[in-house]
């Protein structure tokens, strides 16, 4: 991790964060469309991260929105949760924002799910694997973590 920035995490509940449009524009410029989906599904009420164990978190660094990440019920297995809509702005990467978002979501998941899954983009595989996710090839998934068998955050830290 570079530096020691103070990262504040907040659950997103009623409205998307104020500078969400900037985040979305940066994601789109990089070719990531999933924040468009997040905004559209949020506006339509189709995905509000409000089911059992579901959650959308926003990460702020010095008051600026630095990233988002969420958990929803895994469509192929209701006993699991799936990581979704995970994005850290380029200027804030490799400073631990993604890790803190993921660890908070994993902590949140422990009481509600047996496992956490992802259908990850290949460029992010090292990030998920550094958190302890294991590669899988089933149900359109790329990675999973068994919460009953895993010390969350291993092998690279707390
Ligand atoms: C993937 C992503 C969320 C990671 O966020 P981040 O805040 O940069 O990640 P962190 O700084 O918390 O990284 C934690 C650890 O993951 C690993 N890691 C993260 N990005 C990595 C990369 N590009 N290459 C190799 N390892 C990486 C490292 O072990 C890192 O620890 P270190 O910096 O101490 O070496 C971010 O790069 C991103 O938003 N990418 C574009 C969108 C995307 O791919 N989203 C995921 C869709 S599935």
CATH number at residue 45: 3.40.630.30
Within 6 Å (CB) of ligand 1, which residues are found? Answer: 1, 32, 86-88, 93-99, 118, 120-121, 123-124, 126-127, 130, 156
Question: Domain for residue 1, yes or no?
Answer: no
Q: 32-44 burial string, b = 16+ CB within 10 Å, else e? A: beebeebbebbee
Q: Whose C-alpha lies nearest to ligand 1, atom 17?
A: 127
Between the CA of 144 and the centroid of ligand 1 the distance, in Å, is 17
Ligand 1 mutation target, pool 31, 87, 98, most atoms within 8 A of CB: 98
Which segments within the chain are labelled E, that is strand?
7-11, 55-61, 64-73, 80-88, 115-118, 134-138, 141-146
Model pLDDT, residue 3: 52
Question: Domain for residue 103, yes or no?
Answer: yes
Give 149's pLDDT tier (boundaries 50, 70, 90). Answer: confident
Question: Domain for residue 2, yes or no?
Answer: no
Question: Domain for residue 102, yes or no?
Answer: yes
Question: Domain for residue 86, yes or no?
Answer: yes
pTM: 0.93
Question: How many domains are contained in the chain?
Answer: 1
Tokens linked to 54: 């579901």
Q: Which domain holds residue 41?
A: 7-146
Model pLDDT, residue 150: 61
Higher pLDDT, 46 or 154: 46
Between the CA of 93 and the centroid of ligand 1 the distance, in Å, is 7
DSSP conformational letter for 125 = H
Q: Whose C-alpha lies nearest to ligand 1, atom 29?
A: 130
Question: Domain for residue 37, yes or no?
Answer: yes
- What tens digit of pLDDT does each residue of 80-89 get? 999 999 999 9
Question: Domain for residue 93, yes or no?
Answer: yes
- What tens digit of pLDDT does each residue of 112-131 get? 999 999 999 999 999 999 99
Angle CA 128–74–156, to nearest 5: 20
């Amino acid at each position: 991790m570079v530096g020691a920035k103070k990262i504040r995490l907040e659950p997103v509940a009623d409205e998307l964060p104020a500078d969400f449009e900037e985040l979305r524009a940066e994601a789109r410029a990089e070719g990531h469309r999933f924040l468009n989906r997040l905004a559209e599904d949020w506006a339509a009420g189709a995905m509000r991260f409000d089911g059992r164990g579901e959650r959308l978190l926003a990460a702020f660094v010095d008051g600026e929105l630095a990233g988002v990440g969420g958990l929803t019920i895994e469509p192929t297995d209701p006993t699991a949760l799936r990581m979704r809509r995970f994005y850290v702005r380029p200027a804030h990467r490799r400073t631990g924002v993604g890790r803190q978002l993921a660890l908070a979501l994993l902590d949140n998941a422990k009481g509600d799910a047996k496992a956490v899954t992802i259908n990850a983009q290949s460029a992010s595989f090292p990030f998920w694997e550094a958190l302890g996710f294991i590669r899988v090839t089933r149900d359109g998934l790329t990675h999973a973590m068994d919460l009953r068998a895993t010390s969350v955050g291993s092998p690279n830290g707390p």
